[in-house]
């Protein structure tokens, strides 16, 4: 069973339209940000108590799921002011 050129062209056009529409729909959703583009890099200072929490692989994975990458530096309360 041979496929005609017209059917192939229409199928290719439909696939391109569906792919473009899907990308435009999903690109601004935060849960797809790491898959469709670069992650947002966040920088901040934290206290010593939160260092273990932010180093936890589950927390890193959860933030990565929203397209966020955290660069947290430990500083004492006096240095944060």
Same domain for 23 and 4: yes
Q: Are residues 79 and 51 in the same domain?
A: yes
Q: Do the domain assignments include residue 33? A: no
What was the pLDDT predicted at 33?
Answer: 65
Residue 11 pLDDT exceeds 90: yes
Same domain as 44, residue 22: no
Residues 81 and 47 in one domain: yes
Quote the number of domains for the chain.
2
What is the arithmetic mean of pLDDT over 16-44? Answer: 79
pLDDT for position 8: 92
Tell me which residue range forms the domain holding 23. Answer: 1-28
pLDDT(1) > 70: no
pLDDT score recorded for residue 81: 59
> Which runs of consecutive H residues, i.e. helices, occur in the chain?
5-26, 33-36, 51-55, 57-65, 77-80
């Amino acid at each position: 069973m041979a496929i005609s050129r017209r059917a192939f062209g229409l199928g290719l056009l439909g696939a391109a339209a569906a792919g473009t529409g899907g990308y435009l729909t999903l690109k601004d959703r935060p849960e797809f940000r790491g898959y469709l583009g670069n992650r947002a890099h966040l920088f901040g200072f934290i206290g010593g108590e939160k260092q273990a929490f932010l180093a936890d692989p589950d927390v890193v994975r959860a933030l990565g799921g929203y397209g966020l990458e955290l660069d947290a530096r430990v500083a004492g309360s006096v240095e944060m002011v």
